[in-house]
C-alpha cells in the first residue's frame, strides 16, 4: 500500500510542476507579445506595405511593363550585379512582380505605388545607361487587387525562352524595322503582306488583328510555347507563305518579336535569301501600345491576353462602352467566352483552358464534371488524342529542327577550318577529312543525259551507302541539287542505316542522279530508285534536313 501511496505523491508533484512551468511559459509569451506590440526602436519597419497613391478615391496600383536587350552581353559578374540590383531596389520600393534577368537583358512585369515604380526606374537608368533608351510602359490607377504580392527576380538564359541562347542567338542588331501603331495599322492594309502572330495559340483565341479584305494575310503559327517558333519558321510551308511578301510581326508588348524578327532576318540574309521577302517589320510596343493609341479598337478584334493581374484587356473606349467583341469560345459548352480563369489546363498538351464561369461552377459543384475529353481548340483541330500523342508530335518537330541546326553548325565549323587551311598553304589536307576527300565524289559528274523519268518523280531512295562515312554534310556533294533529305540514323543514333530518302529540286535533277547509279562512293556502288509518293507518309517529313 505504501508503494501505491508513494506513486500517487510523485505523480501529484509532477503534475504541479508541469502546471507551474506551463503557467510561467504562458506569462512569458504574453509579456513578449506586449513588448512587440509597443516597439521602442527608432528604426523604420521593413515590413512590406500595400501600394498607395495620392488618389482621392483611395490607394491604387501602377503597373510597369518593359524589356531591354543588352549587346554586347553582360559579363557573368555584371549579370550577377544586375540581378542583385533589381531585387534589392525592388524590395526597397515595395514592388511586386516578376523579373527575368539574363546576360542578354531584362524582361519585367512589376506593380507598386507610382512613386516607388518611378524611383525604381530612375535607379535602373543609373545602374546601366542602356536603359536610358528603354520604352517603359506604365499604367496608373489600377485597383489594389491587380498588384503582385511578392517580388521574384529570376536568373535565366534568355529573357524570352526560344531555346536560342549563346552562339545560337541571332543578333538583336538585326531586328525588324519597328513601326509605331499608326504606321503598322496602315501597313496591315497593304496586299502582298503577311502578319505573323508571334504569341502562343491560346492567347490568340481571345483576340487578334483582323486585317481588311484585300489587305494583309494573318498567319498564326499555332504554337503552344515560344520554343516552337524557330522550328515553325524553318518549315518549308512557312517559307512558301512568306515568299515575296512584306512580313509584319506582333506580340503582346514587343519583346517576343525582337528575337523572332532577328531570327527571320538572319535566315533571309543566309540560307533563305532566295525567298525574296521585301521587308520585315514589327509593332513597336506590341498590342499594348496599339490598343492605347486605338482605344476604339482599330484593326484589333477581341482582347489582349496579358501575363499580369489584368489577365486581358481591350481598348479603353470599348471597355467603357461595353462593346468589346468576344471572339473566344468556352471549350466545354462552346458559348462565347474570353476570360482565362482557374487552374485547369488542356489534358493533352497542358496549355491554359478557356472555360466559362457556368461550366466551372457546375464542375466544382459536381453538377456536371468537365471530362478529359474537353481539350483546347488546337488539340481538337490537330486531332491530338493523348499526352503521349502530343509528346511524340512535339519531339518530331523539335528533334528535326535540332538536327538541322547541328548540320549547319558542322558546316560552319568545316568552312572555318577550310578557310584556315587555305590561308596556310603549308598545311596538308588530311585523307580522313570526309567532306574534302576525293572519295566523296559527285556521282553525276560524268552524266551527259538524265535517266528516263516517265512519272516526273522528284523523290528518290538512295541506298548501299557507307554508313560510317556518308553524312548529311557530304551527301550534297555526292548528289548535287538535293532540296532536302530524310536522314535515317543507325541503331546507335549515329551514322546512317545505309539508305535515305531525298527530294530533288527538279525532275531533271532526279533523272541525273538516277543516271549516276552504280558510281562508287567510299568504296560502295550507290543504288538509286525513284520513290513514288504514296500519300500515306508525311512529305516533307517533320525531321527533314534542308540544303
pLDDT of residue 491 exceeding 90: no
Told to judge if 251 belongs to the known catalytic residues of this protein, a careful annotator would answer yes
CATH number corresponding to 166-327: 3.40.250.10
CATH number corresponding to 438-546: 3.30.70.330
Average pLDDT of span 445-457:
87
How sure is the predictor about 206, in pLDDT bands with cuts at 50, 70 and 90?
very high
Cis peptide bond N-terminal to 266, omega within 30? no
pLDDT digits (tens, 9 = 90+) for 73-115: 999 999 999 999 999 999 999 999 999 999 999 999 999 999 9
Residue 443 CA to residue 435 CA, distance in Å, equals 15
How sure is the predictor about 41, in pLDDT bands with cuts at 50, 70 and 90?
very low
- CB-CB contact of 349 with 224 (8 Å): yes
CATH 3.30.70.330 domain range(s) in the chain: 438-546
Q: What is the largest CA-CA distance in the chain?
A: 124
Percentage of residues of the chain with pLDDT beyond 90: 55
Q: What is the DSSP string of 162-215?
A: -S--GGGSPPGGG-PEEE-HHHHHHHTT-SSEEEEE-S-HHHHTSEEE-PPTTS
The per-residue pLDDT for 435 is 35
SS3 of 106-148: the string is: EEEEEEECHHHHHHHHHHHHHHCHHHHHCCCEEEEEECHHHCC
Exposed/middle/buried for residue 99 (C-beta within 10 Å: 0-12, 13-18, 19+): buried
Exposed/middle/buried for residue 11 (C-beta within 10 Å: 0-12, 13-18, 19+): exposed
Taking the model in full, what pTM does it have?
0.62
pLDDT digits (tens, 9 = 90+) for 381-411: 999 999 999 999 998 888 888 888 887 777 7
What cell numbers appear for 516 in the block?
549516276
CATH 3.30.70.100 domain range(s) in the chain: 61-155
Dihedrals phi, psi of 82, to nearest 5 degrees: -65, -45
pLDDT digits (tens, 9 = 90+) for 318-377: 767 777 889 999 999 999 999 988 789 999 999 999 999 999 999 999 999 999 999 999
CATH 3.40.250.10 domain range(s) in the chain: 166-327
- In CATH, which of 3.40.50.300, 3.40.50.980, 3.30.70.100, 3.90.180.10 is domain 61-155? 3.30.70.100
- CB-CB contact of 351 with 200 (8 Å): yes
Dihedrals phi, psi of 438, to nearest 5 degrees: -65, -15
Q: For residue 367, give every residue at least 6 positions away whose Cβ sits within 8 Å of its Cβ, in sequence order, or none.
A: 361
Sign of CA dihedral 158, 162, 166, 172: negative
**101, 251, 359, 500: which one is catalytic?**
251
Amino acid at each position: 500500500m505504501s508503494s501505491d501511496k508513494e506513486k500517487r505523491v510523485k505523480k501529484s508533484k509532477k503534475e504541479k510542476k508541469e502546471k507551474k512551468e506551463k503557467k510561467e511559459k504562458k506569462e512569458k509569451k504574453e509579456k513578449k507579445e506586449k513588448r512587440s506590440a509597443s516597439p521602442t526602436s527608432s528604426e523604420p519597419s521593413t515590413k512590406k506595405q500595400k501600394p498607395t497613391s495620392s488618389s482621392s478615391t483611395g490607394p491604387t496600383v501602377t503597373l510597369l511593363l518593359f524589356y531591354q536587350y543588352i549587346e554586347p552581353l553582360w559579363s557573368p559578374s555584371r549579370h550577377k550585379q544586375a540581378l542583385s540590383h533589381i531585387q534589392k531596389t525592388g524590395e526597397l520600393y515595395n514592388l511586386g512582380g516578376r523579373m527575368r534577368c539574363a546576360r542578354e537583358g531584362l524582361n519585367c512585369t512589376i506593380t507598386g505605388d507610382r512613386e516607388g515604380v518611378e524611383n525604381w526606374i530612375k535607379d535602373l537608368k543609373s545602374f546601366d545607361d542602356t536603359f536610358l533608351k528603354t520604352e517603359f510602359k506604365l499604367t496608373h490607377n489600377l485597383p489594389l487587387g491587380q498588384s503582385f504580392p511578392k517580388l521574384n527576380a529570376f536568373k535565366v538564359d534568355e529573357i524570352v525562352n526560344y531555346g536560342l541562347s549563346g552562339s545560337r542567338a541571332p543578333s538583336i542588331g538585326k531586328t525588324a524595322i519597328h513601326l509605331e501603331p499608326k504606321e503598322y495599322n496602315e501597313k496591315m492594309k497593304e496586299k502582298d503582306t503577311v502578319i505573323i502572330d508571334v504569341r502562343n495559340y491560346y492567347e490568340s483565341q481571345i483576340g487578334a488583328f483582323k486585317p481588311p479584305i484585300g489587305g494583309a494575310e494573318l498567319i498564326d503559327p499555332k504554337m503552344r510555347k515560344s520554343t516552337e517558333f524557330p522550328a515553325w519558321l524553318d518549315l518549308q510551308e512557312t517559307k512558301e507563305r512568306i515568299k515575296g511578301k512584306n512580313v509584319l510581326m506582333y506580340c503582346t508588348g514587343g519583346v517576343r518579336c525582337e528575337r523572332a524578327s532577328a531570327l527571320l532576318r538572319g535566315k533571309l540574309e543566309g540560307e533563305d535569301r532566295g525567298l525574296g521577302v521585301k521587308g520585315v517589320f514589327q509593332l513597336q510596343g506590341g498590342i499594348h501600345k496599339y490598343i492605347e493609341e486605338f482605344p476604339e479598337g482599330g484593326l484589333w478584334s477581341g482582347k489582349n491576353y496579358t501575363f499580369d493581374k489584368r489577365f486581358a484587356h481591350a481598348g479603353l473606349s470599348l471597355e467603357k462602352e461595353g462593346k468589346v467583341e468576344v471572339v473566344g469560345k468556352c471549350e466545354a459548352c462552346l458559348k462565347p467566352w474570353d476570360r482565362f480563369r482557374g487552374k485547369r489546363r488542356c489534358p493533352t498538351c497542358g496549355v491554359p483552358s478557356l472555360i466559362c464561369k457556368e461550366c466551372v461552377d457546375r464542375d466544382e459543384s459536381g453538377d456536371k464534371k468537365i471530362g478529359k475529353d474537353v481539350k483546347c481548340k488546337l488539340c481538337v483541330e490537330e486531332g491530338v488524342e493523348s499526352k503521349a500523342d502530343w509528346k511524340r508530335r512535339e519531339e518530331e518537330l523539335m528533334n528535326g529542327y535540332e538536327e538541322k541546326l547541328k548540320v549547319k553548325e558542322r558546316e560552319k565549323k568545316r568552312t572555318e577550318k577550310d578557310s584556315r587551311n587555305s590561308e596556310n598553304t603549308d598545311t596538308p589536307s588530311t585523307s580522313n577529312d570526309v567532306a574534302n576527300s576525293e572519295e566523296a565524289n559527285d556521282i553525276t559528274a560524268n552524266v551527259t543525259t538524265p535517266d528516263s523519268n516517265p512519272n516526273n518523280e522528284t523523290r528518290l531512295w538512295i541506298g548501299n551507302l557507307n554508313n560510317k562515312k556518308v553524312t548529311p554534310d557530304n551527301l550534297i556533294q555526292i548528289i548535287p541539287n538535293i532540296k532536302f533529305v530524310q536522314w535515317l540514323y543507325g541503331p546507335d543514333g549515329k551514322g546512317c542505316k545505309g539508305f535515305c530518302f531525298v527530294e530533288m529540286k527538279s525532275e531533271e535533277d532526279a533523272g541525273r542522279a538516277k543516271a549516276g547509279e552504280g558510281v562508287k562512293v567510299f568504296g560502295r556502288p550507290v543504288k538509286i530508285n525513284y520513290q513514288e509518293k504514296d500519300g500515306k507518309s508525311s512529305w516533307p517529313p517533320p525531321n527533314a534536313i534542308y540544303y
